[in-house]
Homo-oligomer: A and B are copies of this chain.
Amino acid sequence: MKIIDYQDSRPIYEQIAESFKMQILKGILQADDQMPSVRSLAMELSTNPNTVQKAYTELEREGFIYTVKGRGNFVKGDALLKDNKKVELIEEIAGLFKEAEEIGITFDEIINEVKMYLSGMIKGGGTT
């Protein structure tokens, strides 16, 4: 499981947090599963414990995990998480569509291109 990409301009702690967010949203990490300890994860990623700590703090603040001092960090089984992510995605996508319209590209034009783009990435076959 690769987490940190040093080419990526985003800070390391954000990449770590993002990575766990996806794992939780995808259901790879389930409610009350224990997260790797701050120190062990820092070792594994060859980064500093403070950096991991910052990622975990962020995850807790956003409601993805909860912390029990002396015991560790655990996944919060919140059904709302996926809904929040959905709203976030919709707002982002809508923003991009508005940008497109401003420079004279229509909604349907984009949709079509995106569909082609997506099927092109998957195939040979076509799912969606």
Q: How many residues on the A side are at the interface (Cβ–Cβ under 8 A)?
A: 50
Residues of chain A whose beta carbon lies under 8 Å from any beta carbon of chain B = 6-7, 9, 11, 22, 25-26, 61, 66-71, 74, 79-80, 82-83, 85-87, 89-94, 96-100, 102-105, 107, 110-111, 113-115, 117-118, 121, 124-126, 128
Q: Report whether A82 and B94 are in contact in the complex, using a CB–CB cutoff of 8 Å.
A: no
Q: Report whether A128 and B87 are in contact in the complex, using a CB–CB cutoff of 8 Å.
A: yes
Q: Find chain B residues with CB under 8 A from A102 CB.
A: 22, 25-26
Q: How many copies does the complex hold?
A: 4
- Distance in angstroms between the alpha carbons of A57 and B36 in the assembled complex: 25
Q: Using known A-B contacts A25-B103, A98-B118, A103-B22, determine if residue A126 contacts B93 with beta carbons closer than 8 Å.
A: no
